[in-house]
Chains A and B, each alone.
Chain A
Amino acid sequence: MGVDPIFLHKRHDRMNKADIAHLALLARIKLTQKEEETLGTQITEVLEYVSQITDITAEEKAKEVGELFNVMRDDEPSHEPGEFSDSLLEAAPDRKDNYVRVKRVLQDSE
């Protein structure tokens, strides 16, 4: 099955390499040159397709994500302190006692 005519919405600007590189940094993913090219093409195509929803006029309709209501629980501890600490810390790539060890966050200022 080929690409349907509905996918041929040619309204969106092409994503250039700088756009993709910027997005990749925002998303915290290092991309290869080849990935920058293929993802750039794919994302542009998908954006062209999904842009058709800008045709919908629904100004009067409030934006909503599902049905919104509050869900409360009793304000008390749900488990013993440390009950799950070990099994959760077990999954950490680098652990020291009850800490997850990571590279330092703040760099020395020059």
Chain B
Amino acid sequence: MTITELRKKFVDGSYTPLDALTECQGVVEKRDGDVHAFLEVFADAEEMAAIATERYKKEGADAPILLGMPISVKNNILIEGKKTTAASKILEEYVAPYDATVIKKLKGAGVVFVGATNLDEFAMGSSTEHSAFGLTKNPHDLSRVPGGSSGGSAAAVAMGASVAAIGTDTGGSVRQPASFCGVVGFKPTYGAVSRHGLIAMGSSLDQAGPLTQSVTDAESIHNVISGTDSMDSTTITEDTYPAVPLKETYTVGVPRNLLGDGVDADVLTQFEANLEDLKKQGHTVVDIELLLMEQGLAAYYIVMPAEVSSNLARYDGVRYGLRMEGENLLEEYIGTRAAGLGAEPKMRTLLGAYVLSAGYYDAYYGKAEQVRSLMRDELNTAFKNIDIIALPTAPTPAFKVGEKKDPLAMYREDIFTVPANLTGIPALSIPIGTVERDGVSLPIGVQYMGPHAGDSRLFDFGKRVRGEGA
């Protein structure tokens, strides 16, 4: 079921927001014991659904587009009065004192919040195995991961426990789980959506985006949550970037040099089939060369930990979260962080402290920022001749739980998704087919990237590729 379909029924009264919520809760009841997509299912959801149901009776088709839609929220986005843990023990009992801007906007639109979804601790990971509160499994195959870090959000949508979910994407954390779970995932242009009230991981990379069953739904949600915000000075305005026009047909660039070893053969086959579909629809597909993307992954694993080490410095047991008693203030700091942070946040914090330390700063962080700026130039040059870049969302289908123990093997998952975060461009992942693994069909996604502020172009393109609204 999509938002578009629910909307029709809510307006004609054949189905109500209360019915939809009950159905979602039924799915949670039946499947979440195995999948564990949710950290909390909200007890006050009925209240919101009842209000929405009444409003449809009065307002009908005049009701806001998202009114009564059962939506789940990644648990690193603040909802006033709800526990917002970032799946970390250090915030296990933390209750959000205010709404994130994204949440404020969704509340204003009359959305029903079904629950808070699981994630890798502080959104650090590509599998949702690194949650301090237990891993999430892929609803298509319980022996496999849902991707991450927004794995709970993707699984919730894939199993029908909510019509859509909100995730955050720092290096692919919306798009890669969308690909693994067979749903649509969107990472907006950096600054299109306010980060106010998002628990920060990499502040120059983080964006909140929707996970949905259709591109139309992703667009509906993006239109509600985006916009300039005085609480986030990095949000963009209509003048920040040149307007990106929609076109009758698009020229799609394929960076062939990135499709070598390390990309699953079945993923490649599906990707090539998608390119053929694009041609049949009248779009032009051309080969391009992006030479800096490999270094991009390296640059990402410098910039991100650097920002992590700064952002996680606030968890010191003083103002909120866990505090471990100690002899003196220093003992309390180091004891609190030892007990409250998991292995991956510890590793990234240390790595970040290292690359930012005097003597290494220029060699690592300074160099990484240079790479980033060169990548931006390279992409801007590419977008002079093409409209959209296409790549597989991830090099593989969903992998097995426990398969990737080595951090570097896990990082490799992000090779196609990090360039959009490093350069701030928008990217959309849509399901394009399935591959067989051990007799189970696993979803595969393709990723389309557009120039800065090209969000609407990606929605237009994605809808046409999927034949939505045709």
Closest-by-CB residue of A relative to B330 is A28
Q: Are A103 and B332 in contact (CB under 8 A)?
A: yes
Would you call B268 an interface residue if the criterion is a C-beta within 8 Å of the partner chain's C-beta atoms? no
With A23-B354, A47-B354, A53-B371: A30-B334 Cβ-Cβ less than 8 Å? yes
Q: Are A46 and B407 in contact (CB under 8 A)?
A: yes
C-alpha gap A29/B90 in the complex (Å): 13
C-alpha gap A65/B299 in the complex (Å): 13
Q: Which residues of B contact A61 (CB under 8 A)?
A: 370, 373-374
Q: Are A58 and B295 in contact (CB under 8 A)?
A: no
Closest-by-CB residue of A relative to B369 is A63
B residues 317-351 touching A (CB-CB < 8 Å): 317-323, 326-330, 332-335, 337-338, 341, 343, 346-347, 349-351
Would you call B261 an interface residue if the criterion is a C-beta within 8 Å of the partner chain's C-beta atoms? yes
Q: Are B346 and A35 in contact (CB under 8 A)?
A: yes
Closest-by-CB residue of A relative to B423 is A66
Q: Which residues of A contact B262 (CB under 8 A)?
A: 1, 4
| Residue in A56, A73, A93 whose CB lies within 8 Å of B370 | A56
Mark A69-94 against chain B: 1 for CB-CB distance below 8 A, else 0: 00101000000000010011011111
Would you call B45 an interface residue if the criterion is a C-beta within 8 Å of the partner chain's C-beta atoms? no
Would you call B402 an interface residue if the criterion is a C-beta within 8 Å of the partner chain's C-beta atoms? no
Q: Are A100 and B318 in contact (CB under 8 A)?
A: yes
With A1-B262, A3-B409, A61-B370: A50-B298 Cβ-Cβ less than 8 Å? yes
With A91-B97, A93-B322: A53-B367 Cβ-Cβ less than 8 Å? yes
Q: Are A29 and B319 in contact (CB under 8 A)?
A: no
| Residue in A27, A50, A53, A56 whose CB lies within 8 Å of B309 | A27
A residues 12-51 touching B (CB-CB < 8 Å): 20, 23-31, 35, 38-39, 42-43, 45-47, 49-51
Query: How many B residues are at the interface, by size bracket?
Result: 35 or more
Q: Which of A58, A94, A103 has the most CB of B within 10 A?
A: A103
Mark B286-308 against chain A: 1 for CB-CB distance below 8 A, else 0: 00000010110011011000000
C-alpha gap A30/B336 in the complex (Å): 9
Q: Are A3 and B335 in contact (CB under 8 A)?
A: no
Shortest Cβ gap from A53 to chain B (Å): 5
Shortest Cβ gap from A66 to chain B (Å): 5
Q: Which residues of A contact B337 (CB under 8 A)?
A: 27-30
C-alpha gap A100/B327 in the complex (Å): 18
A residues contacting the other copy or chain, number (CB 8 A): 56
Shortest Cβ gap from B268 to chain A (Å): 14
Q: Are B350 and A93 in contact (CB under 8 A)?
A: no
| Residue in B204, B292, B338 whose CB lies within 8 Å of A29 | B338
| Residue in B190, B301, B319, B338 whose CB lies within 8 Å of A30 | B338
| Residue in B330, B347, B350, B374 whose CB lies within 8 Å of A56 | B374
Q: Are A87 and B408 in contact (CB under 8 A)?
A: no
Would you call A107 an interface residue if the criterion is a C-beta within 8 Å of the partner chain's C-beta atoms? yes
Q: Which residues of A contact B298 (CB under 8 A)?
A: 49-53
C-alpha gap A66/B234 in the complex (Å): 10
Would you call B316 an interface residue if the criterion is a C-beta within 8 Å of the partner chain's C-beta atoms? yes
Q: Are A39 and B347 in contact (CB under 8 A)?
A: yes
Q: Which residues of B contact A4 (CB under 8 A)?
A: 261-262, 412
Would you call A96 an interface residue if the criterion is a C-beta within 8 Å of the partner chain's C-beta atoms? no
Would you call B424 an interface residue if the criterion is a C-beta within 8 Å of the partner chain's C-beta atoms? yes
Q: Are A50 and B301 in contact (CB under 8 A)?
A: yes
Q: Are B370 and A58 in contact (CB under 8 A)?
A: yes
Q: Are A54 and B367 in contact (CB under 8 A)?
A: yes
Shortest Cβ gap from A69 to chain B (Å): 9
Closest-by-CB residue of B relative to A91 is B320
Q: Are B334 and A28 in contact (CB under 8 A)?
A: yes
Q: Which residues of A contact B319 (CB under 8 A)?
A: 88, 91-92, 100
Q: Which residues of A contact B302 (CB under 8 A)?
A: 50, 53
Q: Are A56 and B295 in contact (CB under 8 A)?
A: yes
C-alpha gap A97/B323 in the complex (Å): 19
Q: Are A43 and B354 in contact (CB under 8 A)?
A: yes
Q: Which residues of B contact A71 (CB under 8 A)?
A: 233
Q: Are B333 and A28 in contact (CB under 8 A)?
A: yes
Shortest Cβ gap from B195 to chain A (Å): 13
| Residue in A46, A67, A103 whose CB lies within 8 Å of B329 | A103
Shortest Cβ gap from A57 to chain B (Å): 9
Q: B residues bordering A, Cβ < 8 Å?
A: 94-95, 97-98, 190, 204, 230, 233-234, 240, 261-262, 292, 294-295, 298-299, 301-302, 309, 313, 316-323, 326-330, 332-335, 337-338, 341, 343, 346-347, 349-355, 357, 363-364, 366-374, 396, 399, 404, 406-409, 411-412, 424
25 residue pairs bridging A and B, Cβ less than 8 Å apart: A3-B408, A4-B262, A26-B353, A28-B330, A43-B351, A43-B354, A45-B407, A46-B301, A46-B351, A47-B351, A52-B294, A53-B364, A53-B367, A62-B373, A64-B369, A64-B373, A65-B204, A67-B240, A84-B98, A90-B97, A93-B318, A93-B320, A94-B323, A103-B326, A105-B329
Q: A residues bordering B, Cβ < 8 Å?
A: 1-4, 6-7, 20, 23-31, 35, 38-39, 42-43, 45-47, 49-56, 58, 61-67, 71, 73, 84, 87-88, 90-94, 100, 102-105, 107
Other than A27-B349, A64-B372, A103-B328, give 4 A-B pairs with Cβ distance below 8 A.
A30-B334, A49-B408, A56-B374, A61-B370
Q: Which 10 A-B pairs have the closest CB atoms?
A: A71-B233, A93-B323, A91-B320, A87-B97, A30-B338, A30-B334, A58-B370, A103-B329, A50-B298, A28-B333
